[in-house]
Amino acid sequence: MASTSMHATAMNQVIPNEIWVSLQSEDSSTMKVVRASHAPDGRKVDVKPILRIIDNILLRASPAIVEVHIILILADKLSGIYEDKGFPEEDMIGRSDVDAKLKTLASIIKKVSSELFSYNNLALSGTFKSNNVNQTIIPYGATMDCKCSCSGGRDVHTTIMMILDTLSSYSWDAKVVLTVAAFIVNYGHEFLLFSSSEANNSAIAQSIASLKQLRDITDHAKFSKAKIDAIIKLLKVIMAVTRYIVELHNLPLESIATDESPMSKAIAYIPRAAYWTMLSVVVSASYIASLSGHEESTTELLDLSRLASEGSKIQVILRSYRTIYKEYEDEKSKPAYWDLVKTISSTHSNNMTILKILLLVDGKQHLVGHTNKRIHIEELRKMNVFLLVSGLDLSKEEIDVLGKLYQEAKTKGEIQYEVVWIPVVETIAWDQEKQQKFEQLLALMPWYAVPAPSKIKAEVVKYVKTEWKFEKNMVLVPLDTQGKFGSLNAIDMLLIRGNEALSSIFSEKEESLWETQKTWTLELLLGGIDNNFSLVLDWTKQGTMVCLYGGEDIEWIREFTRATNAVKNISSATRMEVVYVGKKNAIKEVENINSKIDGEKLSRYWSDLTSIWFFWTRLESMLYLKMQQCRNSRNDLIMQELTTLLSYDGSDRGWALFCKGSSEMALARGDVALKSMKEFGERRDSAVQNGLFPELSSYIIRESQKKQRCSRIILSGDRQEIPNKKLSSDGCECSMEKCFVYRCCAD
């Protein structure tokens, strides 16, 4: 290749030893020059959207062609020429505010990109041969008037200093993120095409490679896998260090960074971490450029490996500074925390003292609602109040269900109450992205919220985590007019009984929930699920047998529904309605299954995803309360039915519940339910003589007892009230062991 010689000088050049030395010392001449280049003018740059896009591109488990598409769009967005017309939002993150921020930074990113390009000695007028075709390389940020003809030889430190001079007026976190962004725009597409096995086998990838004037990626096997792996490892460290720099830079370090404070070292260390990041970016860019036509050398692999090793050390140091800061904040908040605990535990004549200490932030005396609606905190003086504590991950289903109960209480409830949302966010820095998420959620809520979540006092956050056991799942804490807290299980009680539970919630009489409910009935199973419940009850009153079924195995669903339809066709006297009710913690998958059920006309289904969420969440709530109150689960019918149904849902296949009237129910795991339908013809005469439901129920009992099955129940979050050995599964004499499952998402 013609370009090989143009890379030779830079690529065979060992990173000078003085650079390695400078990374070990704060007082080196190199670091003094680096610090001297820093001349911020006070401008604020929100780097989070760009960092999020970069993360989306580089750190996915398996880079695919969609990521190359994102890079190309990112480059065009920075140029101001791309108009998004339907690319998936979760991949493109194409909101208008992000677009605007990218466009304002386009010019400076182009300048940095030009510095990276110049270091790699790629002249605009230079060409190389690929598949016997001469191609012209046009880097991002270059113009057709450019006649770059770098002679080569500019060392890596000089390149970094030129980038630092270009970014001198920006903060350290902005310098780093803008440099990485320039690197991604210039070299990300080539690297992803070379490193992605999915892209290598894609005709689209080949087309993009041609458009981007890259070598045929089917030659991937000729490239050094060791070099690609080394670059991948280094890029991961680059992103880790970058995130720590951004996080530390957004902490109020100056307020505690005296000369004696450990945090003063954090401020002093950020420039060194930034210099390492820029060094790694420049070197990575050079080596990625070499993938198009440069032979592997041992020097390159040593440089990449050593840079990754140094970056890992820097990452550990930055993480330690963040830990120090959090420990400092915890220590500082201790006196205020114990004052808060003392105040809350005191006797009060009204609820104002507690509400003010928990809700008032930054001197504001009001709470905010959607459409800029406000309420002065004094208006809550004579009201029962629910304090809703959550992160910014509240689902629409959660808000919808609570909102329905809230509106119902406002219009016809005997006990009036107000709800105030306290958003608790783990990360210390509050940015525009979190503010937008807060406003989006608030717009869905009919109640009020703390006006400035970023200003919620540290002692309040510590209190809700320590005393109310808030971790991830929302917590709903009732406070009456006298300033007394009610049951911490309020959310469970509301989901089970609705607003009828209010008198128990505010008086802590949880046991009364079960005093009138001793048996397992359809009313208990489906209570409060709007039209779905009414429709099922109407069917049962008319003598129709109802089959509720669930799971996410579409093949089992097809088999089971076709078998049930065959049973209905065998006997015209057999009246049965079959309804799909989804699967717990799989709302997105359930939506897809609903579409298939509808398209193939398999059965009825609940189209309202909120109803499905409500159905499963109510079952969990019943289980939580029963576990606290039930001494012997094996003797409690409701407990047995709950654990069996939830364990069937946790299996890989489906389940079915056959109902005759309100209290006659037969629950079967997927294989037994399917077999009961497929073999119905053999028992038809018996069903006609004894009745369909009795015959089906006895069959399910016999088949379920034939083989012992161990099962599992997957519950949401880590509920502190769940004991280690309390539950027993259907068909097994063993007690279930409590264990923890960590997963990245529910679906």
Judged against a pLDDT cut of 90, whether residue 556 lies above it is answered with: yes
Mean pLDDT calculated for residue range 512-526: 77
Give first-to-last CA distance, the chain, whole Å.
48
Judged against a pLDDT cut of 50, whether residue 220 lies above it is answered with: no
Q: Between 734 and 526, whose confidence is greater?
A: 526
Segment among 93-107, 173-187, 202-216 with least mean pLDDT: 202-216
**Taking CA 158 as the corner, what is the angle to CA 154 and CA 159, rounded to the nearest 5 degrees?**
80
Q: Would you place residue 667 in the very low, low, confident or very high pLDDT band (cuts 50, 70, 90)?
A: very high
Q: Between 157 and 635, whose confidence is greater?
A: 157
Q: Where does residue 519 fall: left (phi above 0), alpha (psi -120 to 50 degrees), or beta otherwise?
A: beta
Name the CA dihedral angle for 597, 602, 606, 609, rounded to a multiple of 10 degrees. -10
Judged against a pLDDT cut of 70, whether residue 10 lies above it is answered with: no
Least Cα distance to 655 among 646, 663, 664, 643 occurs for 646
Mean pLDDT calculated for residue range 296-307: 72
Please give the mean pLDDT across all residues of the chain. Answer: 76
Q: Between 651 and 560, whose confidence is greater?
A: 560
Query: Exposure of 155 by Cβ count < 10 A (0-12 exposed, 13-18 middle, 19+ buried)?
Result: middle
What 3-state DSSP class applies to 62?
Answer: coil
Q: H helices within 65-146, ranges in order?
A: 65-79, 89-92, 96-119
Q: Between 218 and 167, whose confidence is greater?
A: 167
Segment among 347-356, 396-405, 570-579 with least mean pLDDT: 570-579
> What pLDDT score was predicted for residue 350?
92
Q: Between 576 and 296, whose confidence is greater?
A: 576
Mean pLDDT calculated for residue range 155-175: 89
Whether the CB-CB separation of 241 and 297 falls below 8 Å is answered with: no
AA identity, residue 727? L
> What pLDDT score was predicted for residue 455?
86
DSSP β-ladder status, 366-368 and 374-376: antiparallel
AA identity, residue 39? A
DSSP β-ladder status, 417-423 and 384-390: parallel
Least Cα distance to 551 among 666, 662, 671 occurs for 671
Judged against a pLDDT cut of 50, whether residue 33 lies above it is answered with: yes
Q: Would you place residue 278 in the very low, low, confident or very high pLDDT band (cuts 50, 70, 90)?
A: very high
Judged against a pLDDT cut of 80, whether residue 534 lies above it is answered with: yes
Judged against a pLDDT cut of 80, whether residue 307 lies above it is answered with: yes
Judged against a pLDDT cut of 90, whether residue 185 lies above it is answered with: no
> What pLDDT score was predicted for residue 719?
58
High-pLDDT (> 90) share of the chain, %: 27
Residue 125, C-beta contacts closer than 8 angstroms, at least 6 positions apart: 136, 147, 148, 149
What CATH number matches the domain at 347-513, 3.40.30.10, 3.40.50.620, 3.40.190.80, 1.20.950.20? Answer: 3.40.30.10
Mean pLDDT calculated for residue range 229-245: 88
Q: How far apart are CA 135 and CA 126, in angstroms?
A: 9
Segment among 89-93, 250-254, 262-266, 647-651 with least mean pLDDT: 89-93
pLDDT, one tens digit per residue, over 434-461 is: 888 999 999 999 999 999 888 898 889 9
Q: Between 171 and 69, whose confidence is greater?
A: 171
Segment among 18-27, 104-113, 139-148, 173-182 with least mean pLDDT: 139-148
> What pLDDT score was predicted for residue 419?
95
Mean pLDDT calculated for residue range 485-504: 87
With tokens 């005759």, the residue in question is 660
Q: How far apart are CA 434 and CA 391, in angstroms?
A: 10
Highest mean pLDDT among 21-30, 294-303, 710-719: 21-30
Q: What are the backbone angles phi and psi of residue 507, rounded to the nearest 5°? A: -115, 5
Whether the CB-CB separation of 97 and 432 falls below 8 Å is answered with: yes
> What pLDDT score was predicted for residue 96?
53
Mean pLDDT calculated for residue range 315-324: 88
Mean pLDDT calculated for residue range 590-613: 93
Least Cα distance to 249 among 171, 168, 329 occurs for 171
> What pLDDT score was predicted for residue 431?
73
What 3-state DSSP class applies to 155?
Answer: coil
pLDDT, one tens digit per residue, over 85-110 is: 333 333 333 445 556 666 677 788 88
Mean pLDDT calculated for residue range 44-63: 68
Q: How far apart are CA 99 and CA 537, in angstroms?
A: 52
> What pLDDT score was predicted for residue 638?
86
Least Cα distance to 556 among 704, 646, 673, 696 occurs for 673
Q: Between 498 and 681, whose confidence is greater?
A: 498
> What pLDDT score was predicted for residue 68?
41
pLDDT, one tens digit per residue, over 633-642 is: 567 788 888 8
- Residue-range domain boundaries for the chain: 3-325, 347-513, 522-737
Longest Cα pair distance anywhere in the chain, in angstroms? 97
> What pLDDT score was predicted for residue 714?
65
- 29: tokens are 């001449």
Least Cα distance to 268 among 17, 25, 20 occurs for 25
> What pLDDT score was predicted for residue 52?
79
